[in-house]
Every structure is written in structure tokens, then in C-alpha cells.
Structure 1
Amino acid sequence: MMEQQNTNQSLFDRVGHESLADAVVRQVEDLIASGILKQGKRLPSERELSEALGVSRPKLREALQILEDRGLVVTRHGEGTFVSALTGQAMLPALISLYGRHEPAFMDYLEYRREQEGFAARLAADRATSADKERITDILEKMVTAFEAGDNEASRQADFALHAAIVDASQNATLIHMMASIFELTQQSVFYNRDFLRTIDGTGRILLDQHLELGNAVIEGEPARAKRAAKEHIDFVEKSFRVGLERQRREVMSNKRRLLSS
């Protein structure tokens, strides 16, 4: 609990007495607009928020009601207050499924990611704070540990965490919100079958090296290198996807030949 309180106190600033509710609203709005508080994020409890902000609970409730009226937060009875789904789903399940069956659409998705992640990596290498770099360093260490242990699930989680951390380090609020929605799709095997990618390079070593290069380029503050690393990673995903399709086509043709010869 002490760790949670310290986190809350560093996230929120104590407010003055000019207009307590408005001051609280402004702080939460700033955190949402900047991408620090993302959609679905649960806010601290009333008690924790009240102590961190230095306001009474009635004033805090007044502020939360204003935020809810503006559609920025939603309160669920018995669960707490959460940041609203502000960007929504980038695609509905039916369209996601269609992308998985439609090669040109999937290639468009990769093209979009290549440009956006290259842009994010370049900005991150130029703008990352010491806290951003510590976060990325920690993720890279977890990634190496997972690889050495052969823990595919931990590798997968570190993979997604690294991409999200780099986008956050770009300090571009619009990019942060839009890519958060895209990353929800990325975690679905239709868009990013990490296990399949590992079969292309045999052990997953290529993926690890690509992520290490990307993360270290950001940490070392080299924008051009970071942008290049991000794009080369997506190029590898695209190449792997094409290899997979070609394998499937060869298997189909081989099975047809076998049927004719039997």
C-alpha cells in the first residue's frame, strides 16, 4: 500500500484553494491528454486520491463527476473509476478477421505500422527522459532473461511492452493514444504471430537482436538509428509473413500432386 501511495503522490500534485474541483479536473485532464493515463486505466481509490491531491472527498467527488459528465472517466459501482474508452476499437472483430484472410489489407496494416513506429522511435530517441530510458532498459533486460530461459510468454509480453514504452517515450500524445489502439490488434495472432516469427529465424535470436538494437538506439539517443531499427523490424515481420504464405501455397500444391498420383 505504501508503494501505491508513493506512486499516486508522484503522479498527482497537491492543489491550492482557488477552485479545488477545477484544479483536480485540470490535473486529470492533463494526464489523459498527455497519454499518461490511458483508456481503461483505473484511477486510485477516493481515499488515495484525496490524500495525494490534498483535497476533501466531497471536492474530489465533485471533480470526478465533472470528468464523468465530460465523458473522460466512468465509475463502476464496486470497481472504481476508470479512464473512458476514448479512442475506441481501431477495428471491430469482423474486420480483424477479414484482415487475417486478406493479404493486401494486412500489408497495408504493416505499412502503417512501419511508418508510425519509425516515427515514434525517432522521436523517442530525441525526447526520452531518464525515466523512459530506465523503463526501456528494464524491458530489454527482461527480454534477454526470457530468451535465455526459453520463456515464450514472457518474451511475448516484453515484446509488446517495449513497443509501447518507445511510443510513450515519443512524448507525442496523439501518437500515444492512436498506437495504444493499434497495439491491441498487434497482440492478436491474426496480426502478429510471434511463435511463427520464431520459426523463421529458428530460435528467436533475430527478434531479440532487433529489439535490442531498437531499444539501445533510443536509450543512446540516436534518432536515425532508432528509426532505421524500427523499420527493419517491421520489414522482417513482412518478410516472415510472405514466407509463411509461400509455405502454405507449396503445401497445397504438393497435396494436390499427391492426390493425382495416388
Structure 2
Amino acid sequence: MSSPLTTTAASSLITTTGVTSVATATTVSVTTSTITTSSTTSSSTTSSSTTSSSTTSSSTTSSSTTSSSTTSSSTTSSSTTTSTSISGTSNNQLDTPYGITHDWSANIFYITDQNNHRVMKYLSNSTSGTVVAGNNGQGMGTTQLNYPLGVYFDSSSNSLLIVNYGAHNVVRWVLGASSWTLVVGNTGVSGSTSTLLFTPFDVTCDSMNNVYVADSGNHRLQFFFAGQSNGTTVAGITGTMGSTSTLLNQPTSIVVDAQFNIYVVDYANSRIQEFLHY
């Protein structure tokens, strides 16, 4: 399987929709309103834990350019962490990075290095990272990753939840361990049942450690109670792409707030969807 990313940033149209009950996994009434922002907002700025490869690479390029129109605010106020515009396998290089998550207590960043099939750890302001997961070639084994995309740092278990795009699963890699354990999905098997995923992109958790997965190929969001592998669709309709308020088209990033509201990058529809929790 080749790299999944040929993305462009989402438009500034933010569509607010509801409403799916996460706690009961049943759909209730739906209301829709549209909010247009005054400036362009990319999908990567909405998600606190995931950055698309296209926006990551453009931010890196911006740090080395003198054009004010293409330099983002983040690059003007911070230094470049990795080697600019040069992909590679060294500890100060990345190759098509996608996801990023932050350990706030230790001020450590974890980045999925997609085409190197590994996750890198970077201390704040460091220019060289450390491999914490994968880096054993592309594969399905428990010591390998297969195009890792979304990543979520779970402070309660000092572990990373990693989306294995090419393996159609989500795995947990305890920091310091040499292998992963399966969280959801069936390694190497794609599908649309409640226990399977199809080219997932992102993962996050709520305050009760329930797991949410952007199951992109199935055009849905899957909800898994903590410790369970049988999911429930809480947004979208399995296998049905669309642009109405109840449908998704290739969701790629997901965030859950303290009230259990879900925010989704609805990539192919060029919008951000909000599904309210009741």
C-alpha cells in the first residue's frame, strides 16, 4: 500500500451539525447552521493532535522562506525542529510526517514519521529525535508499523495510540516497550463491520479513555468503549459518502472536547463538522 496522503488544506467553511449521542450510541435530532470565518483556516489547526502531511511540509518550508505571505505565525515564533525540506531516515529527518501529539507534563512531542514507518520523540526545541515506536520496516508484525498516521498520547498508561493506516488497525505502544498491542481492528484485514476498520486516519480518547477513530475509508466515526473492540458508528453512515449534515466523506482528523462533543475534519467535503453530545 502506498502513502495515503495527497492532501490539501480544508476551506474556511465551518459547518456545525448535530447530533449523535455518544453515550447511548443512538442518533437523535439533527440541527444545522453554517459559520463562515473571516480568514482561511486549515484542517490541521482545528485538530490539536493531528497535522496533515501537506500542512506539515508547508510549515517546514515556510520557516526557510523570506516571503511574508507564505510564512505561518508558528514558524516565525519558533525554530525548525527537523532538517528543512530534506526527507530522510536520520534522527533529525522525517519522511512525510502526519500526526503529532504532546505530553504536556514533560513538554515532549511525538510525531508519526509515515514513510519511515516509525514514531519519533522530540524534546522541546531539540533538533534531533529518538525513535519510540516502529523503525523496523513496513509490516504487520507487532514490532512494526505500516504507514502510521494519527497518534494520541495516553498519560494514564504512558503509551501512544497509533493509527496503522496500512494495517487497518489502531495499536497501543507503551513508551519503552519494543512492541505494540492491538486496540481495535483486525491487523491486515479491512472491512466495514463493527470490529473492522478501512484505512483509518486518526484516533483520540475522551476523559473516560473511550476511543474514537476516524474510519476514513468507511466514511464514518467509530466509538469504542474503553477496553472494547466492538465499535458503534456515532457519525456518518458506513460505506456512504455524502455532503449532508449526517454524512461524511473521508474523515481524516478528530477531536473530542470535555463535553464529549466531536469535531471532525470532513476532508473531501472541505469542511469541519461538529457533532454535539446530548
TM-score (norm 1): 0.27
Larger relative contact order (C-alpha < 8 A, sep ≥ 6)? Answer: 1
- Name the structure where helix makes up a greater proportion of residues: 1
TM-score (norm 2): 0.26
